[in-house]
């Protein structure tokens, strides 16, 4: 039996479920998720080692039209640059909505000239189910992509079929990574992401995208991780929202973040958080680079 291995880019506009799909395909949580668009800010490699082959997934930020901030440009650049170094593109769309941003992603995918699977996510939201086949035919015609696979990343419906279809399109070859490796990112990266996830989920209505997390201390001991982090915002009123009255809101956020960290690392975690203001960091390329947003 031949062994297949290669790199696969998960691309799409914001909020189509790319990160949820990555976590489902890996069988574990690697990418943070929320209902807020543009939750994913970095390319994240997830490695799936199977008996028949190895799939190296690359989850990307959503390609979008909104905004001309340095952050928006960074997100689009990160997502688009991924298309230059993969064997297969998985173009993820929302079963219920096609937008101008989907058309923008399609344009980038066509420019890449790479083999592409069209994955129609959130099929569990299509009612009645008889609407699904005409919808798939319409999306295939609209995109010009004939390989269309309907899935629900949330429920796992049809994700095994997607995995098989991806694997057989990858080149034959040796594994790219060791069998027990699941990502190329360091642990402190995931610590920052998991803390940011809790903030994004708790404050998605109150705060815009001007929140990021910087790990200042990551001390790994035999039975406990000691983690200290700074939560950066852009204005004093945003800091006040995060802290809450008497700092109570931040205490609750820290408690939830610590639980997620302990679940992820499978160790006890001692977590300390501070909130600081860095004016207009998301609009300044130098500040972005200082906070880890580098190409």
Q: pLDDT per residue over 244-292, tens digit each?
A: 999 999 999 999 999 999 999 999 999 999 999 998 887 777 777 777 7
Residue 84 has a pLDDT of 83
Q: Measure CA 139 to chain center.
A: 24
Please tell me the distance from the alpha carbon of residue 78 to that of residue 37, in angstroms, as a whole number: 16
**Which residues 6+ apart lie within 8 Å of 208 measured at CB?**
none
Edge-first strand listing for the sheet containing 224-233: 212-220, 224-233, 268-277
Cβ(9)–Cβ(89) below 8 Å: yes
Range with the poorest average pLDDT among 192-196, 238-242, 287-291: 287-291
Please tell me the distance from the alpha carbon of residue 207 to that of residue 232, in angstroms, as a whole number: 12
Please tell me the distance from the alpha carbon of residue 154 to that of residue 23, in angstroms, as a whole number: 10
Report the CATH superfamily, name and number, of domain 4-168.
P-loop containing nucleotide triphosphate hydrolases (3.40.50.300)
| Report field, pTM of the whole predicted structure over 0.95 | no
Residue 295 has a pLDDT of 59
Question: Which one-letter DSSP state was computed for residue 245?
Answer: G
DSSP-H helix ranges across 17-112: 18-26, 70-82, 100-112
Edge-first strand listing for the sheet containing 116-121: 44-49, 53-59, 4-11, 88-94, 116-121, 148-150
What is the mean predicted confidence (pLDDT) over 135-157? Answer: 96
Range with the poorest average pLDDT among 41-50, 126-135, 140-149, 271-280: 41-50
Joined together, the tokens standing for residue 165 give: 């279809």
Neighbour-count burial of 223, counting CB atoms closer than 10 A to its CB (0-12 exposed, 13-18 middle, 19+ buried): exposed
What is the domain partition of the chain in residue ranges? 4-168, 187-290
Joined together, the tokens standing for residue 161 give: 């079929």
Fold of 187-290: GMP Synthetase; Chain A, domain 3 (3.30.300)
* Mean pLDDT, all residues of the chain: 89
The pairing of strands 88-94 and 44-49 is: unpaired
Identify the CA nearest to 117 among candidates 55, 28, 35.
55
Residue 34 has a pLDDT of 67
Joined together, the tokens standing for residue 289 give: 């680079």
Q: Is the pLDDT of residue 204 over 80?
A: no
Q: Is the pLDDT of residue 191 over 70?
A: yes
Please tell me the distance from the alpha carbon of residue 149 to that of residue 166, in angstroms, as a whole number: 10
Token pair 């990574």: residue: 177
Q: Measure CA 215 to chain center.
A: 19
DSSP-H helix ranges across 147-247: 159-168, 187-202, 236-243
Q: Is the pLDDT of residue 208 over 80?
A: no
Phi-psi region of 166 (alpha: psi -120 to 50; beta: other; left: phi over 0): alpha
Q: pLDDT per residue over 4-62, tens digit each?
A: 999 999 999 988 999 999 999 999 988 777 666 666 677 888 999 999 999 999 988 77
Range with the poorest average pLDDT among 52-66, 128-142, 166-180: 52-66
Cβ(92)–Cβ(86) below 8 Å: no
What is the mean predicted confidence (pLDDT) over 127-148? Answer: 94
Q: Is the pLDDT of residue 222 over 70?
A: yes
Token pair 């404050």: residue: 203
């Amino acid at each position: 039996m031949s062994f297949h291995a290669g790199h696969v880019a998960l691309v799409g506009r914001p909020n189509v479920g790319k990160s949820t799909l990555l976590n489902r395909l890996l069988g574990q949580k690697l990418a943070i998720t929320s209902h807020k668009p543009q939750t994913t800010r970095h390319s994240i490699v997830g490695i799936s080692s199977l008996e028949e082959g190895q799939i190296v997934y690359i989850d990307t930020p959503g390609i979008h039209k909104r905004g001309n901030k340095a952050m928006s440009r960074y997100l689009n650049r990160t997502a688009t640059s991924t298309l230059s170094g993969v064997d297969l593109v998985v173009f993820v769309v929302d079963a219920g909505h096609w937008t101008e941003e989907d058309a923008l992603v399609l344009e980038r995918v066509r420019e890449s000239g790479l083999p592409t699977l069209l994955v129609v996510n959130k099929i569990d939201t299509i009612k009645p189910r008889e609407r699904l086949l005409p919808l798939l035919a319409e999306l295939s015609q609209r995109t010009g992509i004939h390989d269309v696979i309907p899935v629900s990343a949330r429920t796992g419906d049809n994700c095994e079929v997607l995995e098989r279809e991806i694997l057989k399109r990858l080149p034959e070859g040796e594994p790219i990574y060791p069998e027990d490796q699941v990502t190329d990112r360091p642990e402190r990266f995931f610590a920052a992401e998991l803390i940011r996830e809790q903030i994004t989920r708790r404050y998605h209505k109150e705060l815009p995208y001007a929140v990021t997390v910087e790990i200042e201390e990551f001390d790994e001991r035999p039975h406990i991780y000691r983690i200290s982090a700074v939560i950066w915002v852009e204005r004093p009123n945003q800091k006040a929202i995060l802290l809450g009255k008497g700092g109570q809101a931040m205490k609750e956020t820290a408690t939830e973040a610590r639980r997620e960290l302990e679940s992820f690392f499978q160790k006890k975690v001692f977590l300390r958080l501070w909130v600081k203001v860095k004016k207009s960091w998301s609009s300044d390329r130098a500040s972005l680079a200082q906070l880890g947003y580098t190409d």
